[in-house]
Amino acid sequence: MDEVTTTNENKNIVDQSLQSEDQDSPDGSIVSPYFEDKEKVVIVNGLYVVYNTGKLNEAIALDGINFDIRSEEYITIFGPSGCGKSTVLNIIAGLEIPSSGNVTVIDQDLASLSSDEIAYFHRNSVGMIFQQYNLIPTLSVLDNVILPLVFEKRNVRERKKLGKEMLRRLGLGDFEKRFPQELSGGQQQRVGIARALITDPPIILADEAVGNLDSQSAKNVLEILDDLNLKSKKTIISVTHNPEHLFYADRVFYMRDGKLVKVEINKEKEREDAPQITKERTEFDILLQSFPDLSPMHLHVMLAPFKAKMLVAYFLSRFESEEIKHLEEIVKNRLLNALDGEQLFSELTKSTEIGGVGMTAPMAKKLMAVIDDVMDRSVMIKDQNESLKQGRNKPMEKLIDRLRHSLLEEFEGELRIDEVKALNRGIEYRLLSKINREEFMEYLDRPFSDGGVGLNRKTAKKLSRKMELIMLMEYGQ
């Protein structure tokens, strides 16, 4: 989980935005232990792509990219439109020639191949899947699928037999005689996958393969890719700008402005034959047993919209509903780390006419401070819970102090020392789930002389709301 949403990144959002520009490029060759002994099937070194060199419209599409990909890895390249994702895929596929740099795919230095050799390589070593499916409308589904075999020595009957088998594998046995436009988007993409697989290439390249599909078809196609990776042992290199698709990957390559800016290993990706690392069972793992199909990463992604909603609802009530929806989307992307602090600020302050939410800079900073504060505290709770699970007796005082400070931002008055102590006790009880939300609120509200903290009802409500928000944020991280 922490691999995709690195928890300490949620701290100091503003500071991070200041640093993010001059980060060193990440090491794109570190893999999880499972892949350490596997062969490097793609090696990219010092890759530059410049369009229109020397002209006024000169554009650097790739700006010094380095990474290795191991056999059977599932890599997802993630980044905003125009950052160079497709260019990377096209170069690995042998469709584009870099301005400089070395690219080796399955032991072949692509720059050293003749054009015939490149064509052979492209047909047999990589299968490509595109957002627009790229099917030929005048050919039947079956003929589309067997098109890449046209250069092979096999006779037509053999090719058709292979094509039919492939269509059956993808659940399209009944559609071979149809034409692409008679099929739904999801079905057309499965035809695209069948075509990519027909030469049995070891590497599959998928460029926004589900970008045009509704969420159900997208899930179906993503699961096919996952199966191809886990069962058929294909190396998958996929491209997306949707953070909700990241949990299929073994590693995520984050790109921005033609650069690789971050590489994350997804430890949640399960591999049946991987050595089992026994890990501590957290409260969260136990909760997960009620949802056997969900990984914590799934859950985090699922919960992100809800968390975003709670955060935004907490922060403001004066916005129009459209703007609130948009704001939730922006905050969700921040929670999923699809936006860094700087990008978050720019989204928040962009005017509504160009798709922003038109916040003033001070208001955006205030919201960012709230997110920062709540996330930071939730990370502390998580750390506390983890050390508790490991049987370490980590003192809770510091966590409680920090939480109290966060909560008291909602409080105008001053607390006496004995009231502070009472509040601390309440926070501790709530953290340990000895009391629930209502009991916590009631405790805050109850007069000090009756064993409570003695806050007024409105303040008690505000404080307990923030406490619940912080505790919610900790889930699924």
Q: How far is the CB of 79 from ligand ADP (least distance, A)?
A: 6
CA 225 to chain centre: 16
DSSP label of 131? T
Answer yes or no whether residue 97 interacts with ligand ADP by CB under 6 A. Answer: no
Q: In this chain, which of 53, 81, 115, 433 binds ligand ADP, going by CB under 6 A?
A: 81
Q: How far is the CB of 207 from Mg ion (least distance, A)?
A: 6
Whose CA is closest to 379, among 408, 410, 403?
A: 403
Q: How far is the CB of 18 from ligand ADP (least distance, A)?
A: 25
Report the partner that residue 87 touches, choosing among ligand ADP, Mg ion, none (CB closer than 5 to 8 A by kind): ligand ADP
Interface map 30-69 toward Mg ion (x if CB under 5 A): ----------------------------------------
Residues 6+ apart with CB under 8 A from 314: 370, 465, 466, 469
Nearer to ligand ADP, 238 or 464 (CB): 238
Residues 6+ apart with CB under 8 A from 271: 34, 230
Report the partner that residue 82 touches, choosing among ligand ADP, Mg ion, none (CB closer than 5 to 8 A by kind): ligand ADP
Answer yes or no whether residue 245 interacts with ligand ADP by CB under 6 A. Answer: no
Assign 76 to helix, strand or coil: strand
> In this structure, what token pair is assigned to residue 42?
């793609």
Answer yes or no whether residue 98 interacts with ligand ADP by CB under 6 A. Answer: no
Q: How far is the CB of 204 from Mg ion (least distance, A)?
A: 16
Binding footprint of ligand ADP, residue count (CB under 6 A): 12
How far is Cα 399 from Cα 402, in angstroms, rounded to an integer?
5
Whose CA is closest to 337, among 477, 144, 465?
A: 477
Nearer to ligand ADP, 87 or 188 (CB): 87
How far is Cα 239 from Cα 210, in angstroms, rounded to an integer?
10
Single out the segment in contact with ligand ADP by CB under 6 A; choices: 78-86, 150-158, 298-306, 314-322: 78-86
Answer yes or no whether residue 82 interacts with ligand ADP by CB under 6 A. Answer: yes
Answer yes or no whether residue 93 interacts with ligand ADP by CB under 6 A. Answer: no
* Residues of this chain, 65-94, that bind Mg ion according to CB under 5 A: 86
Report the partner that residue 122 touches, choosing among ligand ADP, Mg ion, none (CB closer than 5 to 8 A by kind): none
Residues in the chain, total: 477
Task: List, in sequence order, every beta strand (DSSP E) within 174-302.
Answer: 203-207, 235-240, 251-256, 259-265
DSSP label of 443? H
How far is Cα 249 from Cα 181, in angstroms, rounded to an integer?
31
How far is Cα 168 from Cα 186, in angstroms, rounded to an integer?
15
Answer yes or no whether residue 84 interacts with ligand ADP by CB under 6 A. Answer: yes
Nearer to ligand ADP, 84 or 163 (CB): 84
Q: Contact residues for ligand ADP (CB under 6 A)? A: 51-52, 59, 61, 79, 81-87
